[in-house]
């Protein structure tokens, strides 16, 4: 006897064997039981989810010679059931819409529907990939489909329902076949492996199921291939070799290295992936998926419902989630998504991948914008009350995870610590108002050489190169922006909206100082720098509101200097 592949050998023969489509199965059972079988059906869904198998089962039920009136399953032993299962029945005709798409084939079908079935109750037409029919063929089918003979049933299957004419869809009962959940496919693969006496651990079944992307047929084909490759004893190494996916341990190592901002470790791990011959597009897709799953563990109460992984893997991702803030994860996911778009048609995806990973290791700690706005509000409120500015301002910690609780000296190195240090330094000088006034007056009296936007644009490349000499990552981020205006001693630099995360990174105090130093070196004149994203920055709007309400005191202006803001005064 010739060998039968798993996808055919374990094809469902009754409705109860259809996997992952309970809503379709229950509706069909009720229709059969109550004698409400429609004249035409449209089965919609991606590949390998059971459309054609369900159509065959329905055909067997309708034409089964031994089925009693109240039975809802075929006998699978009568001549009609066996012939339908083997695809040789004269009463059930399976037509490939791709190769029989012209109007001539549909005309022949219209002529043949007049003839009654050979020995079954119905003549059933199963048209697979029906969306491939031409418009003329669809129109030729319309009249027959609307008023078919009582002995004819139509079952259409398609993966592209939007290509089927609405006039055809309106004459059918439509069933949407869902993508089969990974866990359901994994359980089915384990059952098949057990029946075939194939040794495969649960993690292997889950890896096979995940690679199938919701298609049970694809998963069965992979299991068949792995069984041949490993002589019935499937190992995780064999699975990785055949499927070509990257180990989860490799991804977790990368996650740790990115958290530590260890560019050496990240690039070394990437070289290992390349040396193994892995496809970088699939690798980056897997890296994006794992960061998405980490984000789900931080933002949902029941991550197991959102993540298609084994329970122990989910627990590991929850631990990794404590190492990142939500802002960090959103930034990382944005960079990786942009990377996938960049390498889609790139001839050398390795270069783009290396640049993106270096960007991620060079990122600054992401400070929520709301926190900075609240701090400015705190400064303004304390000034209104005439009291002392609070050094804490009752703000939540930047790091909610316990793993990052560290000493005060380490906190000072974070953006929050540096801002706090600025405020505390300001408080010390606040007790000496004469010194503040003197400093502000000196600043106002400071004369600068007139710099125009044209002059900046002509030297912008040199400024970027100067920044890259000191901090390469900062220069890369800044290269996504361009100078858009010069007002007195302030250079306004704009980021496109898709690079809003870059703007938040370069706008930290240390980064601003580095850029301002580079500008002074090239232009021979000191300029302050301000960043915007297409429209006015939110922090400027907060400062506008403060100034419009009459808060023009030295304290507010000093707070503006602390945060490198840019007050905009109303004219007139």
* Highest CATH level, class, for 6-176: alpha beta
CA angle (493, 498, 504) in 5-degree steps: 55
Which CATH architecture does the domain made up of 248-361 adopt?
Up-down Bundle (1.20)
- The Cα-based distances of 198 to 59, 192, 193, 225, 531 in angstroms read 33, 8, 5, 12, 61
First to last CA, the chain: 96
| pLDDT value of position 523 | 85
The share of the chain scoring above pLDDT 90, in percent, equals: 30
Q: What is the pLDDT of residues 30-62, one digit of tens each?
A: 999 888 999 999 999 999 999 999 999 999 999
Q: What is the pLDDT of residues 100-144, one digit of tens each?
A: 778 888 888 888 888 888 888 899 999 999 998 888 888 888 888
502 pLDDT above the threshold of 60: yes
CATH 3.30.360.10: does it fit domain 182-243? no
Mean pLDDT of 528-554: 58
CB 353 within 8 A of CB 287: no
Residue ranges per structural domain of the chain: 6-176, 182-243, 248-361
User: Residue written as tokens 């592209």?
Assistant: 160
CA angle (524, 530, 536) in 5-degree steps: 150
The share of the chain scoring above pLDDT 70, in percent, equals: 78
CA 105, 106, 111, 115 torsion-angle sign: positive
Q: What is the pLDDT of residues 201-222, one digit of tens each?
A: 888 898 899 888 889 999 999 9
């Amino acid at each position: 006897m010739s060998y039968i592949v798993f996808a055919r050998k374990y094809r469902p023969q009754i409705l109860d064997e259809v996997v992952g489509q309970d809503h379709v199965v229950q509706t069909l059972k009720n229709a059969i039981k109550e004698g409400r079988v429609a004249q035409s059906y449209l089965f919609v869904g991606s590949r390998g989810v059971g459309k054609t198998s369900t159509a065959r089962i329905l055909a067997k039920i309708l034409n089964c010679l031994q089925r009693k009136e109240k039975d809802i399953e075929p006998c699978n032993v009568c001549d009609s059931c066996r012939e339908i299962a083997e695809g040789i029945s004269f009463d059930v005709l399976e037509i490939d819409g791709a190769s029989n798409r012209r109007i001539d084939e549909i005309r022949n079908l219209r002529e043949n529907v007049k003839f009654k079935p050979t020995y079954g109750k119905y003549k059933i037409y199963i048209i697979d990939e029906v969306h491939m029919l031409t418009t003329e063929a669809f129109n030729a089918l319309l009249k027959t489909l609307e008023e078919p003979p009582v002995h004819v049933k139509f079952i259409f299957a398609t993966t592209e329902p939007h290509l089927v004419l609405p006039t055809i869809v309106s004459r059918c009962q439509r069933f949407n076949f869902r993508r089969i959940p990974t866990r359901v496919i994994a359980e089915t693969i384990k059952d098949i492996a057990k029946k075939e006496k194939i040794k495969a651990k649960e993690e292997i079944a889950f890896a096979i199921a995940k690679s199938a992307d919701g298609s049970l047929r694809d998963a069965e084909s992979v299991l068949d291939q792995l069984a041949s490759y490993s002589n019935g004893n499937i190992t995780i190494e064999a699975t990785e070799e055949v499927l070509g996916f990257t180990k989860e341990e490799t991804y977790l190592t990368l996650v740790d290295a990115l958290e530590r901002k260890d560019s050496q470790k990240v690039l070394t791990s990437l070289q290992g992936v390349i040396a193994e011959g892995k496809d970088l597009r699939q690798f980056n897709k897997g890296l994006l998926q794992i960061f998405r799953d980490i984000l789900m563990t931080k933002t949902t109460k029941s991550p197991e419902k959102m993540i298609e992984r084994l329970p122990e893997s989910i627990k590991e991702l929850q631990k990794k989630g404590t190492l990142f803030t939500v802002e960090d994860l959103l930034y990382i996911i944005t960079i990786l998504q942009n990377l996938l778009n960049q390498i889609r048609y790139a001839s050398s995806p390795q270069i783009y991948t290396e640049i993106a990973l270096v960007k991620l290791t060079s990122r600054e700690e992401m400070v929520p914008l709301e926190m900075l706005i609240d701090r400015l509000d705190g400064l303004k409120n304390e000034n209104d009350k005439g009291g002392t500015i609070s050094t804490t301002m009752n703000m939540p910690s930047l790091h909610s995870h316990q793993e990052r609780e560290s000493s005060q000296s380490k906190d000072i190195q974070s953006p929050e610590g540096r801002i706090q240090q600025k405020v505390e330094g300001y408080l010390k000088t606040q007790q000496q108002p004469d010194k503040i006034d003197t400093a502000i007056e000196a600043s106002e009296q400071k004369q600068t050489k007139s710099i125009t936007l044209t002059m900046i644009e002509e030297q912008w490349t040199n400024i970027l190169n100067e920044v890259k000499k000191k901090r390469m990552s900062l220069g890369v981020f800044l290269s996504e922006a361009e100078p858009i205006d010069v007002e007195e001693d302030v250079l306004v630099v704009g980021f496109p909206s898709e690079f809003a995360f870059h703007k938040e990174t370069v706008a930290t105090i240390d980064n601003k100082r580095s850029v301002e130093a580079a500008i002074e070196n090239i232009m021979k004149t000191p300029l302050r720098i301000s960043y915007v994203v297409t429209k006015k920055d939110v922090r400027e709007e907060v400062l506008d509101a403060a100034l419009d309400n009459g808060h023009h005191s030295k304290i507010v202006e000093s707070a503006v200097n602390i945060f490198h803001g840019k007050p905009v005064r109303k004219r007139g």
